[in-house]
């Protein structure tokens, strides 16, 4: 097929697949910023309960991440999946589902400038 595309000049267009749609809080974004961090959980990692001052979008890159946020059901997220944390929510469970492989995800933390991004619950 690549030869056909080269000859005809027709390339396949990008594919757009929504991964997560979630309502956001009704708030002013004045003096807010987003911090994007790649988080790596080593095999067997179990995190402590914590909070973020703003909202969080997390996108799993590798492995499996288990999360439970503010009374929601515990869920396992795999590469290409996302989860949402609303402002001030308690991230009750945050762990690597595997005892032998690391898990990596991107955390997009939206918060007012100057606030600590993570605090103990």
Rounded CA-CA distance 23/98 in Å is 31
- pLDDT tens string 68-77: 999 899 999 9
The tokens describing 11, both together, are 């390339």
Taking the model in full, what pTM does it have?
A: 0.83
2 backbone dihedrals φ, ψ, rounded to 5°: -55, -35
* Whether the Cβ atoms of residue 107 and residue 37 lie closer than 8 Å to each other: yes
- pLDDT tens string 78-88: 999 999 999 99
How many other CB atoms are found less than 10 A from the CB of residue 99? 8
Domains, in order of start, for the chain = 33-120 (2.60.120.10)
């Amino acid at each position: 097929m690549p030869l056909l595309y080269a000859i005809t000049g027709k390339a396949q267009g990008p594919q757009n697949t929504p991964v997560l749609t979630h309502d956001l809080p009704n708030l002013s974004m004045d003096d807010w910023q987003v911090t994007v961090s790649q988080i790596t959980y080593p095999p067997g990692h179990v995190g402590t309960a914590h909070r973020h001052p703003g909202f969080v979008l997390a996108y799993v890159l590798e492995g499996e991440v288990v999360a439970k946020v503010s009374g929601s059901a515990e869920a396992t997220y795999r590469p290409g999946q996302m989860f949402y944390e609303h402002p001030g929510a308690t991230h009750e469970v945050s762990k690597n589902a595997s005892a032998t492989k690391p898990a990596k995800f991107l955390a997009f933390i939206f918060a007012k400038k100057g606030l600590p991004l993570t605090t103990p619950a």
